């Protein structure tokens, strides 16, 4: 016994919660927040937050770590390196993906994945990707997963070999509804993209910028409209992942205005990067290949407006661990679509570049700088976007993303005046580039506290591999009849 009421007191900071900003100390006991108030008694450990803004630790509900693709692609980010990067960037917990390989059961698709995830330094949970909703998977394996706290499913409406047909998507929505699980969706039209890719390659247009021409906003808008409509048909809540443009966001807003349970996520890349990055000379544009594709520069501000009006209420990283060196070897695969064609200099054509950018460490500094420091959003909005809304959607409310007694003591001390230039050499991830190289940011996470322990101080990661905990996620409220179907339809087991 130390004789102290608190194991740690974070003293004298400006606290920012999802609702308000106020001055107070935080007393921590047993890894959770025990008290919030002025002039708390001394703790066994004292952390000065003078001049700092104290937010809940970030929750990144969409990142890809150590995934092993059916196409042979490997995300080169390990749980140890990815979680070190997360903590250094102010993210104390994340949700990544259990893969399903087409033609395989869930059990046969990700051997050892959960054991590898246990190497995480940050707290973690999983969404289950569904690429092949067979009766065995949907009636036996998914209920067992939900029962042990893996309560969200992820589906793709594009990509080879991951995408679902509409019939399969409906099957996933209906199963999720029965089980009280949540569904997240990658919305792009597979056939439209395939048609554009073939035409671009035929015309010899192979540079990375063609990735954007292959996937214009209309392919995202159409699939978003379809996903919202099918979710309405089944009366199943969904979140549309990584919304890149106003056209898709408007489909979500329209659904919400009609009372549908549909949410939208975006990512820093869609708020800050553009065609200009894809069009960098030579093969440099490959560093900005992600799907949906980056849009014209003017679109960034339109996406910000949808963040400001609440249509897009979660900002995730969609962190992907494909290095630039790997992309140059033209492996095809890795969330790609359309085979392994090449540019005249031997580097891969746009459609053979693995999709996705690394951003688990830069997510919050970029959001803080471009959002809070530039006056686009206030601090409570920053907290809602970076942790609190995801905690609510994904079954972690009250535990993560909250500055309330009883919540996990996951805290970030931000110096709002610190100025940094993002350099890959300073980041903790295992990837050989960042698409934000050279970006000047204002506001930086100086100290990250995970469950009452200092996990990062001044860029030095102290949390050890294996110290993160699996987050089993509690039950969602059971779906209730909405009047969209006749009485007795539910009871008859149709849905």
In this complex, which beta carbon is closest to Zn ion, that of residue 10 or of residue 267? 267
Bridge partners for 54 per DSSP:
15, 413
Closer CB to ligand URP, 236 or 269, in the complex: 269
Task: Pick between residue 294 and residue 407 the one whose CB is nearest to ligand URP.
Answer: 294
Q: How many CB atoms lie within 10 A of CB 29?
A: 18
Closest approach of Cβ 328 to ligand URP, in Å?
17
Among ligand URP, Zn ion, none, what does residue 196 contact (CB within 5–8 Å per kind)?
Answer: none
* Residue 358 beta carbon to Zn ion: minimum distance, rounded to whole angstroms: 12
DSSP-derived 3-state class of residue 114: helix
The option from Zn ion, ligand URP, none interacting with 163 (CB < 5 to 8 A, set by class) reads: none
Q: Which does 335 bind (CB under 5 to 8 A by kind): ligand URP, Zn ion, none?
A: ligand URP
- Please report, for residues 131, 230, 272, the alpha-carbon distance to residue 134 in angstroms, rounded to integers and kept in the order given: 9, 19, 40
Residue corresponding to tokens 């990250």: 448
Q: Which option in Zn ion, ligand URP, none does residue 443 bind, with CB closer than 5 to 8 A by kind?
A: none
Burial of 420 (0-12, 13-18, 19+ CB in 10 A): middle
Nearest-approach distance from CB 188 to Zn ion, in angstroms: 8
- Closest-by-Cβ residue to ligand URP is 356
d(CA 165, CA 185): 13
Q: Quote the least distance from Cβ 355 to Zn ion, whole Å.
A: 8
Assess contact for 84 and 428: CB atoms under 8 A. Answer: yes
Q: Which is nearer to ligand URP, 13 or 338 (CB)?
A: 338
Q: Which is nearer to ligand URP, 242 or 343 (CB)?
A: 242
Q: Which residues contact ligand URP by CB under 6 A?
A: 64, 186, 242, 290-291, 318, 320, 335, 355-356
Q: What angle separates helix 217-234 from helix 190-202, to the nearest 10 degrees?
A: 160
> How far is CA 207 from each of CA 286, 423, 494, rounded to the nearest angstrom?
9, 25, 49
Residue nearest to Zn ion (CB): 186
- For residue 169, the minimal CB distance to ligand URP (Å) is 15
Beta strands, E only, 306-408 = 312-315
Collapsing DSSP to helix, strand or coil, 205 comes out as coil
**CA-CA distance, 280 to 414, in Å (whole number)?**
33
- 32's tokens: 């959770």
Q: Binding residues for Zn ion, per CB under 5 A?
A: 186, 318
- Residue 197 in 3-state DSSP? helix
> Could you tell me the smallest distance in angstroms from the CB atom of residue 462 to ligand URP?
30
Question: 230: which residues sit within 8 A by CB, 6+ positions away?
Answer: 166, 169, 170, 173
The answer to whether the bond into 67 is cis (omega within 30° of 0) is: no
Report the candidate in 413, 414, 411 with the shortest Cα–Cα distance to residue 443: 414
Q: Residue 185 or 388: which CB sits closer to ligand URP?
A: 185
401 binding partner (options ligand URP, Zn ion, none; Cβ < 5 to 8 Å by kind): none
Q: Smaller CB distance to ligand URP: residue 240 or 456?
A: 240
Q: At a CB cut-off of 8 Å and minimum separation 6, what does 204 contact? A: none
Q: Quick one: what does residue 290 bind among ligand URP, Zn ion, none, with the CB cut-off 5 to 8 Å set by partner type?
A: ligand URP
Residue placing its CB nearer to ligand URP in the complex, 137 or 320: 320
Find the shortest distance in angstroms from Cβ 141 to ligand URP: 22
The one of ligand URP, Zn ion, none whose footprint includes residue 211, by CB under 5 to 8 A per kind, is none
Minimum distance of Zn ion from residue 94's CB (angstroms): 12
User: 355 touches which of ligand URP, Zn ion, none (CB within 5 to 8 A by kind)?
Assistant: ligand URP
Residues near 205 by beta carbon (within 8 Å), at least 6 away in sequence:
213
Contact of residue 177 among ligand URP, Zn ion, none (CB under 5-8 Å per partner type): none
Shortest gap between Cβ of 291 and ligand URP (angstroms)?
Answer: 4
Say how far apart CA 72 and CA 83 lie, in whole Å: 23
Give yes or no for a contact between 37 and 404, defined as CB atoms under 8 angstroms apart.
Answer: no
Nearer residue to ligand URP within complex by CB, 56 or 264: 264
Beta-bridge partners for 48: 11
To the nearest whole angstrom, how small is the minimum distance from the Cβ of residue 320 to ligand URP? 5
Pick from Zn ion, ligand URP, none: which does 316 bind, CB < 5 to 8 A by kind? Answer: none
Sorted by sequence, the CB contacts under 8 Å of residue 375 that are 6+ apart come out as none
- Cβ closest to Zn ion, residue 94 vs residue 382: 94
């Amino acid at each position: 016994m130390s004789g102290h009421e608190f194991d740690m007191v974070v003293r004298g900071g400006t606290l920012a919660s999802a609702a308000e900003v106020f001055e107070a100390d935080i007393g921590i006991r047993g890894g959770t927040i025990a008290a919030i108030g002025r002039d708390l008694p001394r703790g066994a450990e004292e952390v000065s937050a003078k001049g700092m803004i104290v937010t809940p630790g970030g929750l990144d509900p969409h990142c890809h770590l150590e995934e092993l693709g059916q196409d042979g692609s490997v995300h080169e980010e390990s749980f140890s390196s990815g979680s070190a990067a997360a903590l250094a960037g102010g993210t104390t917990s994340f949700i990544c993906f259990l893969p399903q390989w087409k033609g395989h059961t869930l059990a046969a698709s990700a051997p050892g994945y959960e054991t590898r995830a246990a190497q995480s330094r940050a707290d973690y949970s999983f969404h289950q990707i569904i690429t092949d909703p067979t009766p065995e998977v949907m009636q036996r394996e998914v209920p067992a997963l939900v029962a042990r706290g893996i309560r969200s499913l992820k589906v793709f409406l594009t990509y080879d070999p991951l995408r679902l047909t509409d019939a399969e998507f409906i099957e996933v929505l209906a199963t999720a509804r029965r089980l009280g699980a949540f569904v997240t969706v990658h919305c792009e039209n597979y056939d439209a993209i395939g048609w554009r890719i073939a035409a671009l390659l035929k015309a010899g247009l192979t540079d990375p910028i063609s990735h954007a021409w292959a996937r214009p906003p209309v392919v995202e808008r159409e699939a978003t409209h379809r996903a919202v409509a099918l979710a309405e048909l089944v009366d199943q809540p969904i979140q549309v992942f990584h919304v890149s443009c106003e056209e898709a966001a408007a489909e979500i807003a329209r659904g919400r205005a009609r009372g549908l349970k549909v949410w939208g996520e975006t990512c820093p890349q869609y708020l800050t990067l553009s065609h200009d990055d894809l069009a960098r000379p030579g093969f440099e544009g490959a560093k900005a290949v992600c799907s949906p594709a980056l849009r014209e520069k003017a679109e960034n501000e339109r996406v910000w407006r949808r963040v400001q009006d609440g249509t897009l209420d979660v900002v995730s990283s969609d962190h992907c661990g494909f290095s630039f060196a790997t992309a140059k070897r033209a492996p095809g695969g890795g969330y790609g679509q359309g085979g392994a064609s090449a540019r005249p200099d031997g580097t891969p054509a746009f459609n053979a570049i693995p999709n996705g950018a690394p951003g688990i460490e830069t997510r919050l500094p970029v959001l803080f700088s471009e959002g809070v420091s530039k006056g686009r959003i206030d601090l409570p909005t920053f907290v809602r976007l970076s942790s609190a809304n995801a905690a609510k959607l994904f079954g972690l409310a009250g535990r993560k993303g909250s500055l309330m007694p009883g919540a996990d003591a996951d805290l970030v001390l931000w110096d709002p005046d610190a100025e940094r230039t993002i350099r890959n050499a300073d980041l903790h991830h295992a990837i050989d580039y960042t698409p934000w190289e050279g970006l000047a940011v204002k506001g930086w996470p100086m100290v990250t506290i995970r469950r009452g322990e200092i996990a990062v101080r001044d860029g030095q990661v102290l949390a050890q591999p294996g110290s993160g905990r699996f987050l089993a996620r509690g039950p969602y409220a059971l779906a209730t009849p909405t009047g969209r179907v006749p009485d007795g339809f539910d009871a008859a087991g149709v849905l």
